[in-house]
Amino acid sequence: MDVLNPYGGNPKGYLSTPGPDRNGEHMMGTTIMAVEFKGGVVIGADSRTSTGSYVANRVSDKLSKVHERIYCLRSGSAADTQAVADMVAYYLDMHSVEIDSPPLVKTAANLFKMITYNNKDRLLASIICAGWDEKNGGQVYSIPLGGSLVRQPFAIGGSGSTYIFGHCDAEYKKGMDQKQCEAFVSKAIAHAMSRDGSSGGVIRLAIITKDGVERKYIPGDKLPFMKDE
What are 174-214's pLDDT values in tens digits?
A: 999 999 999 999 999 999 999 998 899 999 999 999 999 99
**149 pLDDT above the threshold of 70:** yes
pLDDT digits over 49-67, tens only? 888 778 888 998 999 999 9
User: Following DSSP, what letter does each residue of 88-147 receive, concatenated?
Assistant: HHHHHHHHHHHHTSPPPHHHHHHHHHHHHHHTTTT--EEEEEEEEETTTEEEEEEE-TT-
Q: What per-residue confidence (pLDDT) applies to 29? A: 73
Element (H, E) at 43: strand 40-45
pLDDT digits over 69-113, tens only? 999 999 988 899 999 999 999 999 999 999 999 999 999 999 999
Calpha distance 134→226 (Å, rounded): 39
Q: What per-residue confidence (pLDDT) applies to 14? A: 45
Calpha distance 188→196 (Å, rounded): 12
Q: What per-residue confidence (pLDDT) applies to 56? A: 84
Q: What per-residue confidence (pLDDT) applies to 181? A: 97
Alpha-carbon separation of residue 74 from 41, 139, 172, 211, 229 (angstroms)? 16, 17, 22, 24, 30
Q: What per-residue confidence (pLDDT) applies to 55? A: 84
**19 pLDDT above the threshold of 70:** no
Q: Model confidence at 227, in pLDDT bands (50, 70, 90)?
A: low
Q: Model confidence at 9, in pLDDT bands (50, 70, 90)?
A: low
Say which residue, 226 or 26, is predicted with more confidence.
26
**For 109-112, which contacts have Cβ atoms below 8 Å and span 24 or more sequence positions?**
109/139, 109/141, 109/143, 109/149, 109/151, 110/149, 111/87, 112/72, 112/84, 112/88, 112/141, 112/143, 112/149
- Active-site positions read 30
Calpha distance 107→36 (Å, rounded): 17
Alpha-carbon separation of residue 139 from 12, 33, 131 (angstroms)? 52, 13, 6
Say which residue, 108 or 229, is predicted with more confidence.
108
Sequence-distant (6+) residues with CB within 8 A of 141 are 105, 106, 109, 112, 128, 129, 130, 149, 150, 151, 152, 155
Q: Model confidence at 129, in pLDDT bands (50, 70, 90)?
A: very high
Q: What per-residue confidence (pLDDT) applies to 173? A: 95
pTM here is 0.86
**18 pLDDT above the threshold of 50:** yes
pLDDT digits over 163-176, tens only? 999 999 999 999 99
Say which residue, 229 or 49, is predicted with more confidence.
49
Q: Model confidence at 8, in pLDDT bands (50, 70, 90)?
A: low
Mean pLDDT of 25-40: 86
